């Protein structure tokens, strides 16, 4: 009889019209009072399970999966608290969580379960904790349910990373950053600390090995990125929540991009006004400076009154073959270039720029425009360098050597 009860209660979704004849036929010789007892017992069990959420509007399984490993803690979030589900700002509601295997309601369990708001926290996760967990929101007029899947995987032997990783690109030769992907966890806990690892090595500011690495809040900054900086970075958050402590980690697969382009800057035109006669032809050149390494992937488009000009209009691209010599003259290496003080003219320069048209001629005006307009706009206005450019900062008739000594 117990076995038959288990069969019936495990298939509680079917109508009683299917199950009741089966029970009556199997036990027709049984005492009527005993049959009535079994009938009521099964009915109560089924009604209890139905009360858990069978008649709730089912939003099926949430798209986002939660991945964890044994020993960690993790958070499942009920996403039904949304205006497209019901008006939760005016309608009263309560949230309950259930283990979909047993339909047992999950409440506070010391060392294992914490329910806070829309979230279910599971501590000291084990392999058998994997599976679906259902959140049910009840209102005076109805209820809604949705399941969340927890996937538990064993850690990879001889590694400190998690089985599932997030890819992130670091840019070579510049400062890049990694963001800990656990910000949703961090916002909900009582307090926390963050520790970053590369492979299995903890990243600490006190070790010279990590002098190019620094942390600010949930970000890890890598200065002057190098090819050897590629690898697996793990962010581990140790936290406290309602008196229980736990840890959760995520791993980022850091790739290093050797070719890159920084933000382009438009050199010309800049707030220009062009006057033209009706019916005449107008030609205007657009110059864009794209700092970076490798061939720039930049598309230049003209916009008129909020609309882009079709590509059938004439568009010219040109490259300047002339070589611009940029010599960074650092004060600590060449102090004799910086003999001037505040008592004189106060000029101090970070870089010396020369271009061929000053020494021999025969060069188109593009090199001069690049040296006198494009470089100052980027290096001086954006990067804060102070440049000395022959032809702009030197005195009329002054030679190259005298310009060095004077400035």
Would 158 be classed as within a structural domain? no
79 pLDDT more than 70? yes
The pTM of the full predicted model, rounded to 2 decimals, is 0.56
Q: Are 68 and 136 found together in one domain?
A: yes
Better-predicted residue by pLDDT, 84 or 396: 84
What confidence score (pLDDT) does residue 105 get? Answer: 92
Of 152, 186, 221, the one marking the end of a domain is 152
Q: Are 143 and 170 found together in one domain?
A: no
Q: Are 306 and 354 found together in one domain?
A: no
Instruction: State the pLDDT confidence band at 187, using cuts at 50, 70 and 90.
Output: very high
Please say whether the beta carbons of 407 and 349 come within 8 A: yes
The H or E element containing residue 147 is strand 142-152
What is the residue range of 244's domain?
A: 165-258
Would 378 be classed as within a structural domain? yes
Backbone dihedral angles phi then psi of residue 186, each to the nearest 5 degrees: -60, -40
Q: Are 199 and 238 found together in one domain?
A: yes
Compute the average pLDDT of residues 364-390.
74
Would 37 be classed as within a structural domain? yes
What confidence score (pLDDT) does residue 346 get? Answer: 56
Q: Are 311 and 335 found together in one domain?
A: no
Lowest mean pLDDT across 92-96, 171-175, 273-277, 363-367: 363-367
What confidence score (pLDDT) does residue 46 get? Answer: 43
d(CA 403, CA 35): 111
d(CA 33, CA 40): 11
Specify the 3-state DSSP secondary structure of 374. helix
Burial of 80 (C-beta count, 10 Å sphere; 0-12/13-18/19+): buried
What confidence score (pLDDT) does residue 374 get? Answer: 76
Two tokens at 209?
A: 């090995």
Q: Are 84 and 47 found together in one domain?
A: no
Would 276 be classed as within a structural domain? no
Compute the average pLDDT of residues 350-364.
58
- CATH code (residue 172): 2.60.40.10
Better-predicted residue by pLDDT, 16 or 357: 357
To 5 degrees, how large is the angle CA 388–CA 394–CA 395?
160
With a CB cutoff of 8 Å and minimum separation 6, the contacts of 59 are 80, 85, 144, 145, 146
DSSP 356: G
To 5 degrees, how large is the angle CA 191–CA 194–CA 199?
155
Would 386 be classed as within a structural domain? yes
Specify the 3-state DSSP secondary structure of 263. coil
Q: Are 302 and 335 found together in one domain?
A: no
Better-predicted residue by pLDDT, 8 or 113: 113
What confidence score (pLDDT) does residue 361 get? Answer: 45
Model confidence over 317-349: pLDDT tens digits? 343 434 544 444 444 444 544 454 444 445 567
Question: Nearest CA to 260 among 222, 228, 295, 212?
Answer: 295
The counts of H helices and E strands in the chain are 7, 26
How many separate domains does the chain show? Answer: 5
């Amino acid at each position: 009889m117990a076995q038959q009860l288990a069969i019936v209660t495990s298939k509680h979704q079917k109508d009683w019209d299917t199950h009741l004849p089966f029970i009556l036929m199997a036990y027709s010789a049984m005492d009527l009072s005993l049959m009535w007892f079994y009938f009521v017992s099964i009915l109560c069990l089924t009604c209890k399970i139905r009360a858990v959420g069978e008649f709730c509007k089912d939003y099926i399984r949430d798209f986002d999966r939660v991945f964890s490993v044994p020993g960690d803690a993790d958070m499942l979030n009920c996403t039904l608290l949304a205006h497209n589900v019901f008006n939760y700002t005016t309608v009263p509601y309560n949230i309950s969580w259930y283990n979909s295997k047993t339909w047992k309601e999950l409440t506070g369990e010391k060392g294992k379960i914490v329910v806070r708001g829309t979230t279910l926290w599971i501590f000291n996760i084990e392999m058998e904790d994997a599976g679906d967990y259902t959140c049910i929101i009840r209102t005076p007029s109805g209820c809604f349910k949705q399941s969340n899947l927890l996937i538990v995987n064993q850690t990879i032997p001889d590694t400190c990373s998690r089985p599932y990783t997030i890819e992130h690109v670091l840019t070579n030769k510049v400062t890049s950053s990694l963001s800990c992907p656990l910000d949703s966890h961090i916002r909900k806990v009582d307090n926390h600390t963050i520790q970053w690892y590369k492979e299995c090595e903890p990243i600490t500011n006190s070790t010279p090995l990590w002098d190019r690495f620094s942390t600010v809040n949930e970000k890890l900054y890598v200065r002057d990125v190098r090819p050897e900086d590629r690898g697996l970075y793990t962010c581990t958050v140790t936290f406290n929540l309602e008196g229980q402590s736990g840890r959760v980690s995520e791993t980022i697969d850091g790739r290093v991009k050797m070719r890159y382009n920084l933000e382009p800057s438009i050199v010309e035109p800049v707030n220009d006004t062009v006057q033209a006669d009706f019916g005449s032809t107008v030609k205007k050149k657009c110059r864009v400076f794209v700092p970076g390494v490798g061939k720039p992937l930049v598309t230049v488009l003209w916009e008129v009154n909020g609309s882009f000009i079709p590509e059938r209009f004439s568009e010219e691209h040109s490259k300047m073959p002339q070589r611009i010599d940029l010599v960074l003259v650092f004060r600590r290496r060449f102090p004799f270039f910086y003999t001037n003080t505040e008592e004189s003219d106060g000029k101090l320069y970070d870089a010396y720029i020369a271009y061929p048209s000053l020494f021999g001629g025969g060069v188109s005006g593009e090199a001069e425009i690049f040296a006198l307009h494009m470089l100052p706009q980027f290096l001086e206005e954006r990067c804060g360098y102070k440049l000395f450019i022959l032809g702009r900062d030197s005195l009329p008739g002054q030679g190259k050597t005298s310009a060095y000594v004077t400035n």
